[in-house]
């Protein structure tokens, strides 16, 4: 029989303790290494996810840039269309059609409603631009309108349509007297456009019903683009009826009151030379030149009017 003394037992216990502590340290080191490895793996995974997201964002930005470039090129081609008369092209310097329509977000596949297009200056651009992939609606006066001027515009506009390629894709909507205006469109248009019409609508009392019909015609989120002669701040509606110039803030408030949301404005059609204090109001300037030869050179030097360019949207319910 072997008997262990207390000294030997103590030594064995000490050795076992050292072994145990050594093992614990080894386990702890292993755990630390595992934690470090997991941390590195998580960091690598995060880097990979960020790299993927960045690549997707770059791809999206590249595609968006390519789409924007294609849109601008298509619009520039429409502006350069051979069907545009020289007198229309001469006004590009004042009306900036490419930048204006890009600001309003008009694309080749857009459904567009143009309100009261006059003799068709913008229609000649919009027709070829959206005629192949999108659709263009226009409102127009009746050739039987009681106003000789409006009846003449209707006839001249009808002649304009005949010269536009793809004119079979147009839907001309005859506009009845203000109290009966009905475009016949609901949640269909991507963009509704009006160029220098507001002062006339206000004068004949048709503005509110037109805004209501434009709102109804637009898809939720659709754009209402407005270009109008800009008056000095504080100009009243009564003064606008005489001069043709409209106070910008007053107009924004009125259109918002009709249910639209104002998004932003652009200075693309601004003209700092326009002093807005002429004998015949805005019609003193070109292209009207109401004073004819009187000071014509002076007014031609000023150019066409200073214009606000406003973007509204139909709120998404």
Query: What pLDDT digit, counting tens, does each position of 25-83 carry?
Result: 565 666 677 677 778 777 777 876 776 766 666 666 666 677 789 999 999 999 998 88
pLDDT of residue 172: 73
Domain extent at residue 240: 83-313
Residues 123 and 238 occupy one common structural domain: yes
Predicted local confidence at residue 17, as pLDDT? 55
Start-to-end CA span in the chain (Å): 96
214-223 pLDDT, tens digit per residue, is: 999 999 999 9
What pLDDT does residue 36 have?
79
Look over the chain and give the mean of its residue pLDDT values, rounded to a whole number. 87
**69 and 90 share one domain:** no
Number of domains in the chain: 2
What is the dihedral angle through the alpha carbons of 290, 293, 297, 301, rounded to the nearest 10 degrees?
Answer: 10
Q: What is the pLDDT of residue 28?
A: 63
Distance CA(107)–CA(311), nearest Å, equals 15
> What average pLDDT does range 83-90 have in this prediction?
93
Q: Given a cut of 80, is residue 4 above it in pLDDT?
A: no
Same domain, 3 and 128: no
More confident residue, 36 or 101: 101
Specify whether 68 is located in the same domain as 98: no
Residue 113 pLDDT: 96
Same domain for 71 and 109: no
The residue with greater pLDDT, 196 or 165, is: 196
| One domain for residues 93 and 242 | yes
Q: State whether 19 and 94 are in the same domain.
A: no
Q: What percent of the chain has pLDDT over 90?
A: 63
Same domain, 132 and 264: yes
Domain boundary among 79, 102, 126: 79
CATH of the domain at 242: 3.40.50.150
If one compares 265 and 9, the residue with the highest pLDDT of the two is 265
Enumerate residues 6+ apart whose C-beta is below 8 A from 273: 301, 302, 303
Same-domain check for residues 36 and 184 = no
For residues 258-264, average pLDDT:
98
- 179 plus 290 within the same structural domain: yes
Query: Do residues 150 and 288 both lie within one domain?
Result: yes
Write down the pTM of the prediction: 0.81
| Residues 267 and 304 placed together within one structural domain of the fold | yes
Question: What whole-number distance in Å separates Cα of residue 264 and Cα of residue 35?
Answer: 53
pLDDT of residue 281: 98
Question: Would you state the pLDDT for residue 60?
Answer: 60
> Confidence band (pLDDT; 50, 70, 90) for 7?
low
User: Where a domain ends, among 31, 48, 79?
Assistant: 79
- Indicate the DSSP class of residue 5: -
Nearest to 157, CA basis, from 132, 174, 169, 177:
174
Q: What does the pLDDT read at residue 63?
A: 62
The residue from 15, 45, 79 where one domain ends is 79
Distance CA(257)–CA(252), nearest Å, equals: 9
Q: Where is average pLDDT lowest: 8-12, 67-71, 138-142?
A: 8-12
Q: Name which of 199, 231, 197, 236 is nearest 214 in CA terms.
A: 197
* pLDDT of res. 100: 98
């Amino acid at each position: 029989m072997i008997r262990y003394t207390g000294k030997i037992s103590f030594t064995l216990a000490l050795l076992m303790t050292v072994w145990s502590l050594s093992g614990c340290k080894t386990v702890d080191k292993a755990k630390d290494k595992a934690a470090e490895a997991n941390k590195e793996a998580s960091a690598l995974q995060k880097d990979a996810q960020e790299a993927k997201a960045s690549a997707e964002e770059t791809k999206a930005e590249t595609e968006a840039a390519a789409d924007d470039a294609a849109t601008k090129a298509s619009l520039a081609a429409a502006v350069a269309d051979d069907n545009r008369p020289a007198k229309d092209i001469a006004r590009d310097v004042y009306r900036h059609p490419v930048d204006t329509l890009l600001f309003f977000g008009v694309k080749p596949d857009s459904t567009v409603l143009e309100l009261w297009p006059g003799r068709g200056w913008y229609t000649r651009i919009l027709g070829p631009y959206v005629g192949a992939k999108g659709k263009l609606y226009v409102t127009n006066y009746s050739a039987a309108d009681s106003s000789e001027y409006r009846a003449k515009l209707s006839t001249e506009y009808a002649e304009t349509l005949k010269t536009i390629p793809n004119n079979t894709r147009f839907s001309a909507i005859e506009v009845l007297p203000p109290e009966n205006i009905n475009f016949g469109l609901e949640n269909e248009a991507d963009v509704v456009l009006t160029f220098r019409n507001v002062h006339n609508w206000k004068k004949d009392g048709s503005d509110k019903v037109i805004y209501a019909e434009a709102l109804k015609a637009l898809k939720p989120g659709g754009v209402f683009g407005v270009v109008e002669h800009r008056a000095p701040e504080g100009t009243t509606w009564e003064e606008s009826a005489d001069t043709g110039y409209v106070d910008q803030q007053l107009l924004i408030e009125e259109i918002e009151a009709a249910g639209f949301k104002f998004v932003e404005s652009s200075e693309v059609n601004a003209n700092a030379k326009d002093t807005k204090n002429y004998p015949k109001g805005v019609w003193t300037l070109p292209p009207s030149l109401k004073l004819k030869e009187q000071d014509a050179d002076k007014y031609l030097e000023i150019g066409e009017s200073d214009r606000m360019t406003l973007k509204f949207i139909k709120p998404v319910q």
